[in-house]
Copies of this chain bind each other. A is one copy, B any other.
Amino acid sequence: MTLQRVTKNLAALKKLKTRMQGRDFLLTWERTLDEIKAVGLVAECLKDLHQAGVSARIFDSGLAISIFRDKSTRTRFSFASAADLLGLAVADLDEEKSQIAHGETVRETANMISFLTETIGIRDDMFLGEGNKYMREVGDAVSEGFAQGVLHQRPNIVNLQCDIDHPTQSMADLLKLKDHFGGFDKLKGKKIAMTWAYSPSYGKPLSVPQGIIGLMTRFGIEVSLAHPEGYDLIPEVIEVAKKNASDSRGGFEVVNSMEEAFRDADVVYPKSWAPYKVMERRTELLKRNDRPGLVELEKECLGNNAKFTSWECDSRKMALTKGGKALYLHCLPADITDVSCKQGEVSQDVFEQYRLATYREAGFKPFVIAAMIFMAKFDDPAQALAAIARKGGKRLRY
């Protein structure tokens, strides 16, 4: 079954026009729709091959470097899994101050760690205006190194979450939708509610909702972004979503009611975040290491959040969705009422109903990351993937 889908996906892949060899994956909206689809199809193929016990090892040796500015378990293991699947060994750069380390230091370090490196995964999501910029600096540095003969190959950069986008997450979510509805072409006209939800913590990054509205609007989906007044996302990404929706003949609206967004939705994505203006203030305070200021800001924000505890995804609100049966998405971990906290983003019964579905959603991520690396390595990725499938080398020998 799975290998039949590989054949079908390979045929679809061949028709797509992509130009990703040697290139980074930093924002979904910098990639063409064909390239987005190609990454998705390659990820799906790699997943199907894995399930069928076929080895997709393409490297005999090589390093995959991870740079995590934030604590991370899921993304860390997704990256490690992806690297290992392709034959790369993970080396973690423990660079505590990557957001400050600009200029000469980044330029030099990026080259020093890359002599035998094939890919660099970076998570830098704490500082608004910094994370994506840092990834570009690293990318520029290895471009120079490769052009000047310092490096034998240019490692590609994979954005494992920045201040603007979270492409490995949104692509995994997209594949979950493709799987659920039966194809990229089935997404047109569907309604997705990307809504803020209450959480007893603050300072959650904006990259997930921004990633969702920036990506889903490419597929003719009706995207309804809902949040309490003041909980705005970065204006630039709102503009991206509007333009995407217009180009794809989908829709994009911003509303201030969870119920309104849920109404007739095919998909709901209730998830907390901090207003971007708060993130800007927080970034300044963090840069100045202003501890009292941070405590004060947290207090103010939690107080503000507390006005919106009703923004919980519960069965009453789920009943408003299309046939009461919308698909629930979450990047995990969710703040579950009475489980992980007293009052959270989602009620216990709703979450439990979709728990395994969210696990399966997360299961796409390692393969999405692997696909991003894969696409950066081959001039003709469809041909390489077909060769892998044809060879059919076993993951577990004997």
Contact = CB atoms under 8 A, between A and B. Distances in A.
Interface of A: 50-51, 55-63, 65, 73-74, 76-78, 80-81, 84-87, 89-91, 93, 95, 103-105, 108-109, 111-113, 115-117, 144-145, 148-152, 332-333, 336, 339-340, 356, 359-360, 362-363, 365-366, 377-378, 383-384, 387-388, 393-398
A58 B91 contact: no
A388 B398 contact: yes
Instruction: State the 7 A-B residue pairs at the shortest beta-carbon distance, nearest first.
Output: A81-B116, A55-B60, A384-B398, A150-B359, A51-B152, A77-B113, A387-B398
Given A51-B152, A90-B89, A152-B50, A396 B112 contact: no
Contacts of A397: 57-60
Given A57-B61, A62-B84, A150-B359, A366 B396 contact: no
B73 A87 contact: no
A115 B57 contact: no
- One complex includes copies of this chain to the number of 3
- Interface-centre pick from A85, A87, A340, A397 (highest chain B CB count, 10 A): A397
Contacts of A55: 60-61
B91 A89 contact: no
A90 B90 CA distance: 10
A209 B54 CA distance: 44
A57 B116 CA distance: 13
A78 to B, nearest CB: 8
A152 B51 CA distance: 5
A80 B89 contact: yes
A394 B115 contact: no
B359 A59 contact: no
B396 A59 contact: yes
A115 B61 contact: no
Contacts of A377: 396
B359 A84 contact: no
A42 to B, nearest CB: 13
A395 B59 contact: yes
A355 B55 CA distance: 41
A50 B62 CA distance: 10
A262 B81 CA distance: 51
Contact of A61 (B84, B109, B356): B84
A115 B366 contact: yes
B116 A150 contact: no
